[in-house]
Every structure is written in structure tokens, then in C-alpha cells.
Structure 1
């Protein structure tokens, strides 16, 4: 076990210390997950002649995170230090920078102390910094793969593992007389059919993103905080060039994306490993998912549009195209529903087989993605082919897209991290049921009006008045459909390779 006195050694001269990887694990009330995370690190086969030191940052904890981490470190024979923060206002960013300053010094400390000779030797021995979330777990040999990727070229600043959401065990497999039944259900270790289905949608979404990145060479615009191996020199460049007290900044809700863009600005490559895998927790409910995606989407939009943060990414065009693609998806669906409703209500709907083309392509695309998603189930492939799951999941993301851009136009900026923490802690509730009731009510009113005023709506006067608008709408929708179809053909083409998610 390492201790906080690791650096308190005097008389260092011509010293040598074995090269090492240091892991930074910020943990805010993670007593239930920290042991599993540390066990995953203990399972790693380290690169030859490389040591591993683990720093768990117990960040504003009110539970037994520190105690559980120390116990796990002793049980798994890890070189482990637990750092604690009090009244840290910067959350994950502050926790990560606490670990950084513990090793590299704090330039903002008014009592700044020059590093001792031993600290300098220790600092020079660090060849890679692993940033991990406390609820993540590296697959066996993942650290080796990340190391090989980082050391394959001098200009690589960070390599991220491929993320796979952990599927909850079947709730039915848990005996109800188990004394820990409620605790296990609350932990998310077990889940019902709906939770497992929702987890797979997030897993397939992540798989689609990783496959796309690998097809385009492996360069990524975000090195996710769940498991990324950084080159220390790259992080030092960010700290010095931006005059910071640590590499991570809280100017954005997506601090990992901001850091990645800064690395690219300094000409460091940022890649996704084709082999290293990390298992991460999914959002188990619609509400927590929405809050997480709101934070991600809002942070991305703010980085793309902010004039205060002077940093750009070589992937900027790709991110804007993704925003446009989502907007087109939204307009296509809203326009189709509107035109279909008016056409049926006025008895002017005519079926065209061109509408079957995007449906067939979407079915093929989603089945391929479901099959390429790690640890998929047969039911997942079937639901993807029927387009039930992808369409529901897409609408959830479209709602987030609309909310973020509407809030962007508002004066008040919401705290994405606080909203996500509150949602995961059960302090806020979803408005999904309210939305479903409202939608059902509106549909019911619409159906009632169409039935009761059918003679008027199908009269020649109304049909003649609406016909030009309907035709113009269908023409616009046809062009949007052609665009979507071409894009799906392209996506299917990119999936033909042997890349794995």
C-alpha cells in the first residue's frame, strides 16, 4: 500500500524509479462500486517493467467510499492512495485536479512548495496517466492494449477504451427472500425487462459511435472519462499553455471533450483503442438518461457555439453535421406526422412505395448494428429489425435535442452536473408520464374533431384550399427522405468492415 507519506523521503541522489502508470479515480459516494473498479485494475496484466499506482479521490463523500477503497486496495495488493476533498465546488474536475496537483504541485497555492528531489524522481517515472470513473471496470488486458496504443507513436496524447454498457442481471433470477434483495435492486445490479431493454439501446448507440470512429481511422473528438490513458507530457502542455492549476477545466459540462479539443489544438492525437474494452454503467431509467444526455448535448452545443472558449477541434465539421442530421430527423418525422394527419383527415392520402425504401434501409441498418453490438440478444436484433426500439430511442434523443437548443436561446444556463446527480440520487422525477398523458389527450382530441367534422374536412372547398400545401409538403418530405436514404446506405457501407465495437 502507498501512503500519503510516499514523497517524504530525503537524501535522494542519482535515484532511479521504475516507470509507472498512475490511475486517477474520482469517486463521489461510490461505496457500492469502487471495489469492483479496483478489482478490475488488480486483474490487469501490466506492461513489462511497468508499475501501477492508484489514486482514489474521495470527493465530498458522505458515505464509506474511502474505507471501502482502502480495504479493496489491501485485499487486491494494489499500490493505492486515497485523497479526500472537502467543499470541492468543481466536482469531477476538482477531484481530478486534486490528484494531479498532489503529484505535480499546485501553482495556485500561495504557499507553493518546490517539489523535493524524491517527488521529481517520482514525477519523471510516470509514463502514463489513466483517468477512470469509479463505476467503470476494465476488461482483462485492457491496460496493456491502451499502453501499446499510447506508446505506438510519440505524438499520441490519449487513447480511450471502447465502452460497453453492463447489462443488468435478470430481476427474476433474484430470490425475493434474499436479505439483500432491496439493496441489489437499488444498486442497479438487477433489472426488469424494461431496464434491460433500455440498457441495450444505450449499448447499441455507443457501439454505433465506436464503429463509425474506427471506420474513419480511430481519431476521436472526445476521450471519455470512463477509461482513457493519457501521456503526461500532453496533460502538462494543456496546463502550461492555458495557465491552469490542472489539465481539467469546469468551463464546460463536458470536461473530457474540452480537454480532448485542447490536446488536438496542441497537435496531440486522440484515439480510440481497437482492442481495449471498459465496462460502464448505463442510465437505468428514462429520467436519468435524459439528464445525462442533456448534459452531454448541452456541453457539446456550448463548445461548438461559445466565443469565450478559444479552442477548436478537427472534428468540428463532423459534430455540426451530426447536429444537422438530428435536426433533419426531427423535421422529417414532424412533417410526416403533420402531413399524414391532414391528408387522412381531408381524405387526400395516397400511398407511394417510395416511403418503403427508408423503412427497409433503416431496418437493415439497425439489424446490422444490433448484431455488431457486443453481447447482444436475439430479441434485440428482432426489435431493431422491426424498428420499434430504434424509433423510441431516437425520439428520446430528439426531445433532448429540442430542449438543449431551446435552453441555448434562454438567458439562464442550467447546471448539467447537478441535474444528473440529482436524477441519479432520486431527488428529481421524470415528466415522462405527464408527456404521455398529454400526447394521448391531444391525439384523442384530434381524432374526435376529425370524426365529428369529417363532412366539412372532406368537402371540396377544404380539399382545394389545402391541396397545394399538402403537395409542397410531400415534395419537401420526399427530398428529405432521399437524403436520409442515401445517408443510411453510406452507414451500411461503413459497417461492412471487420471493425468491432
Structure 2
């Protein structure tokens, strides 16, 4: 009798029709303040015809109400949602994502080699796409359908990424000073002052520039960002099989999403950016957290480029190297110009040439166009871009990070980029911006004092004669580098004529 019931149950499962589905993986470590908004965005989505959406929130080593709020939001927005809780996960986001994957596809490291039930096998086969999302991201309405259409447009597409736009904080002047939650609202990042809003726009414009460049070059991307990317499950399974892994994501690099993308490309899958799907993400809210994030990204990128132990290549490797070379040239041009200018002024050998305004004019035009093409830009952002105040300040921050990372390659001590960024976001580390500004001011003051105090000596014929050859060589080198930079800006301005949007 029991055998008859068992056979009947198996038969009913076999005759069960499961609609194709998308499964969303959302790793969340103490995200009680943002998880509801993330899930509200999924609740807003209009799904493709006959396609269902399941949501898995991975409450990763949480000590707050992330799990409780996620479950409440799931009911509120009528999502098919479950919360997966991790314990003693030492691999942070990577471990959380792999835990969600194993909950569906099984764990190759399971000592008991448990087999999936027949229902689990059918469920696994019904999954046609996996959405990887951050808990502080929000998809725009219809974005999921647009990602789906991109993924299903060709059999060889392994992943499609949404276009990211940083959310602009509201003016903190909108909060009444007597509001008892004033400080709490400021801490969440939903509101911010002029500096916070300016800083957010610079990140938005930087992202817009990157997105426009990718689209101009065919839409292929070397990194499928973890904020919102739709993956083909077969592409992720290829990574596991070819690299003998227990899950698609790895923590060998601080840029796990870039490593994943390169491995997908290695398996001959295409990785694309959607021309229409948009995702709103949080910007880094201060100079310190931004520096730590960019430090992690830059160090992870350099590690992928230079570490031969990470046996993975990318069709975009040449493009990334060119980007690194461009940053090196940008840094060299500015450092060399400041040194030559200081020495020339101190020794009274400075000569002005109007031709120097050409690269300045090109930079102004380029940054003005980028500011206008940045989604939801403000008039003040366009003005500051045109006069080069904002782009130059932002570029210097990135160049300092660039120099710091490459110098760090000489160090024997490798830093944990994720831990550094987490600590910065929690306020456990302190910015050294104030000290850096003070040191810079002191150095400039000392240089000016010495230049005036020893004016007669520095402008003497013997000193001028000794310095002149070095100045001439320096200006020649600077001229060639500036010509290269100007041609690069002309090319970028040319690419921006296209109708692509950021």
C-alpha cells in the first residue's frame, strides 16, 4: 500500500508543470534600514509573460532585524520570499551568495552526498535566470523584464547587468531641526548637505562615463556588477564545473564580481550591459568611505591583472590595462606640471604659452557633456564641470588611490579590502583627509617662503644655467604627454556624440 502511494506521489510530481522562473539572491548583512526598499523595487516589477519570481534573502551573520523586516516586506509586496540564515560565514558576500546557490543546486562538499528530491530537480530545471542583487539597491519598474529580454535574446549570453545610477540624498534642510529623528535620518544617508550631494553627483558622473563607453563599444562589459545582474544558470554552473568549485562566487579577489565575469567569458559566454534596465544604488557618503571602496576596487583589479596564480583571462584585459596607463599618465602630467611650474617660478624661468589652454578647453567640453548626460543632473553640477572644479578634485582623489594601490604592490602585507571598506562604512576607521590638507598647506607655505627668502640665489645666472636643461627636458616630456591626453579627450568627445544614454 505504501509503495502504491509513493508511486502515485512520484507520478503527480512528474505530471506537475512548473512555470519558468527567475530566482533573486539578495545577500544582506545588517541591512535592516535598506532591505525593505530593495524588496519594494522587486514588488514593483512587471514580470515577463508566464515567468514567476522567487526571492531568497540571505541574512548573513546579522545582529539586527534584517530577517524580520525582510519577511514582513515579502508579505507586504506579495513576493514569494524566503530568508536563508547563515552561521559562521567567513566569506562575507561570496559565502552568502554561494549558500543561496547550494540551497537550490546542492552542495558538492556534502559529506553524505545527498541527492535532490524529484521536486527539487524539477524546481531547479524551471530556473531560467538568477538575479544577483545588493540589499541597498532598487530596480526601476520594468527593469527585470528588460534584463530578461536581454538575457534571452541570444543563447550565448551568460549575464546582463543593469545600468547603475547613484541615488541623490535629499537636502537635509528639508528636515525640521526639531525633528527627534534628525540625526538618525542624516546617518541613513537619505538626507545630506551640499558636500554629500556634490560627492554623490561625482560618483554618478563617473559611472555615467563608464556606462557610455561600454555602450559605444558594443555593450560588452568586463564586470557584471553585483548590484543588479541577471545570470544564466548554465553559465554559473560552467564556472563550478571547470574550476572545481562548490559555488560560482569566489573570494580570491577583492572584486569578486569582476573575477566571476572573467570566468564566464572564459567559458565563451557573452557578458553585456542592458541599454534600458536601470538600478538605483547608494553612493559612498563620505570621502573616507569612497576612498576605501575605490581602494578595494583598484587593488582587486590590479591583482587580477598581475597575479598569475588567478588563472583567468578576459577579452577586456587590454582595455583595462589602457585604463591603468591613462591614470598613470594623468597622474604624471599633473605631478610633473606642478614640479616644473614651481621650479620655473622659483628660478624666474617661466614662460606662458596660450597653447596650454587647448587641453583645458577640451577637458571643459568633455566634462560638460558628461555632466549633461548624467541622469538627473543639476544645473550647479554642469557649471562646476564646465569650470573643471568638480572633475579635477574628483580625479585627484582617484589618482591618489591609484598611486597608493600600485605602491602597495611592493608591500608584503596584503590588506583585506572588504574588511577595510566595512570598517570605514561603520565608522570604525578615521579619514586622514584633514592631516593631508594640513601637510599640503605647510609644504606649499614652506616652498613659497624659501622661494622669496632665497630669491637672489635662485634667480642667479649660475642656478638658472644649471636648472635650464632639466626644465627643457621636463617641458618636452610634459608636452608629449599632454598631446596624448588631448587626443584621448578628443576621442572620448567623439564617442559621446552617440545617442546612448547613461
TM over 0.5: yes
**Aligned residue in 2 for 1:251:** 252
User: Is 1:150–1:159's contact at 8 Å kept on the other side of the alignment?
Assistant: yes
**Aligned residue in 1 for 2:68:** 67
The equivalences for 1:96-111 within 5 A come to 96-111=97-112
Separation in structure 2 between the aligned mates of residue 200 and residue 264 of structure 1, nearest angstrom: 32
Deviation at 1:9, TM superposition (A): 9.7
**Aligned residue in 2 for 1:5:** none
**Aligned residue in 2 for 1:123:** 124
Separation in structure 1 between the aligned mates of residue 492 and residue 321 of structure 2, nearest angstrom: 17
Deviations 1:235-264 (A, max 9, x none): 111111111111000100000000000000
Deviations 1:50-101 (A, max 9, x none): 0000000000101000000000001111000100111100000000000000
The equivalences for 1:40-119 within 5 A come to 40-119=41-120
Q: Secondary structure at the match of 1:160?
A: strand
Q: Secondary structure at the match of 1:380?
A: helix
Tell me the matched-pair count.
494
Structure 1 runs (4+) greater than 2 angstroms displaced: 8-15
**Aligned residue in 2 for 1:159:** 160
**Aligned residue in 2 for 1:264:** 265
The gaps in structure 2 that reach 5 residues or longer are 1-8
1:211–1:9 distance in 2 versus 1, CA, 3 Å? farther
Separation in structure 1 between the aligned mates of residue 19 and residue 145 of structure 2, nearest angstrom: 17
Q: Secondary structure at the match of 1:427?
A: coil
**Aligned residue in 1 for 2:359:** 358
Deviations 1:323-373 (A, max 9, x none): 000000000000000000000000000001121000000000000000000
Separation in structure 2 between the aligned mates of residue 490 and residue 204 of structure 1, nearest angstrom: 18
Deviation at 1:219, TM superposition (A): 0.1
**Aligned residue in 1 for 2:386:** 385
User: Is 1:10–1:118's contact at 8 Å kept on the other side of the alignment?
Assistant: no
Q: Secondary structure at the match of 2:251?
A: coil
Separation in structure 1 between the aligned mates of residue 78 and residue 140 of structure 2, nearest angstrom: 18
**Aligned residue in 1 for 2:374:** 373
The equivalences for 1:153-302 within 5 A come to 153-302=154-303
**Aligned residue in 2 for 1:449:** 450
1:9–1:119 distance in 2 versus 1, CA, 3 Å? farther
Separation in structure 1 between the aligned mates of residue 47 and residue 13 of structure 2, nearest angstrom: 27
1:39–1:10 distance in 2 versus 1, CA, 3 Å? farther
Separation in structure 2 between the aligned mates of residue 9 and residue 364 of structure 1, nearest angstrom: 68
Deviation at 1:13, TM superposition (A): 2.4
| Cα root mean square deviation, aligned | 1.0
Deviations 1:393-438 (A, max 9, x none): 0000011001111111111100000000000000001000000000
TM value normalised by structure 1: 0.98
**Aligned residue in 2 for 1:398:** 399
Separation in structure 2 between the aligned mates of residue 112 and residue 176 of structure 1, nearest angstrom: 60
Separation in structure 1 between the aligned mates of residue 84 and residue 300 of structure 2, nearest angstrom: 28
Q: Secondary structure at the match of 1:409?
A: coil
**Aligned residue in 2 for 1:335:** 336
The equivalences for 1:129-144 within 5 A come to 129-144=130-145
Deviation at 1:111, TM superposition (A): 2.1
